[in-house]
Chains A and B, each alone.
Chain A
Amino acid sequence: MNVHTYEKIWLVASLFLIVGFIATVVYGAAGAGIAMVDASGGTVDSTSLSENERFGEPGVERVGDGEYEVTVVARQFMYQPDPIRVPADSRVTFYVTSADVIHGFQVVGTNVNTMVIPGQVAKITVDFDEPAEYGIICNEYCGQGHHDMEGKLVVVPEDEYGGDDA
């Protein structure tokens, strides 16, 4: 095959680019510690969430020193609980599932973003260092009221954080 020298140079540069992209993403995972949402949340019967041990009562629970678990149910067209209150300087694990169709769960302006699929539990852990107020939006079309589906996440200063009941 008759490949021009310049084109060979470009082929090598392209491969360099591709490997560079993959290396960056690997750095993000291994170096910066970013984990992908995966299958570790398990599955759940979305037709009987109220009887489910975890999702029967969506809310915030303190599970350790500075560690919290937040159970969220997304449904047309709201999140439970809303707002979600957690203290600053905490490590929060969200368990998010849907009671009906596919939704999104995106904390606006951050890198916290996951799909919410009925039958699946999205489990994501996030460190909140500073007090802040965030909007939560559904970023997957979920029906005619999709644009009304929003929630709030409030990270309150540690000393103002009252209880686990959100």
Chain B
Amino acid sequence: MATDRELKEIGHDEFDPVGTLTLITVYFLILVGMWVLTYFVEFLGNGPTVVG
């Protein structure tokens, strides 16, 4: 079952989650893009709107 040959111990100080940083940066960009699209195009681009 186990694949011992591949398993190695990586401690706290030798681990830089660079992959996580990559993924989360992509997520950040998606969030900002989708927010701008939804708020400014879908919402503010739609009308009429409640103004008072």
Contact = CB atoms under 8 A, between A and B. Distances in A.
Asked if A and B are interacting partners, one says yes
A37 B50 contact: yes
The A interface, classified by DSSP as helix, strand, loop or mixed, is: mixed
A160 B23 CA distance: 58
B37 interface: no
Given A10-B24, A24-B39, A28-B44, A126 B51 contact: yes
Given A17-B32, A24-B39, A28-B44, A111 B50 contact: yes
A33 B44 CA distance: 11
B3 interface: no
A28 B47 CA distance: 13
Contacts of B21: 6, 9-10
B48 A6 contact: no
Kindly state the interface size class of chain B when it binds its partner.
Answer: 20 to 34
Interface in A1-41: 2, 4, 6, 9-10, 13, 17, 20-21, 24, 28, 32-37
Listed residue (B12, B46, B52) with the most chain A CB atoms within 10 angstroms of its CB: B52
Interface in B3-24: 12, 16-18, 20-21, 24
Nearest to B49: A111
A126 B48 contact: yes
A166 to B, nearest CB: 18
A17 B49 contact: no
Given A6-B17, A13-B28, A32-B44, 9 more contacts: A6-B16, A6-B18, A32-B49, A107-B48, A111-B46, A125-B51, A126-B49, A127-B51, A128-B48
A4 B39 CA distance: 33
Contact of A111 (B18, B24, B48): B48
B50 A34 contact: yes
Contact of A93 (B35, B39, B52): B52
A127 B48 contact: yes
A112 B49 contact: yes
A35 B50 CA distance: 6
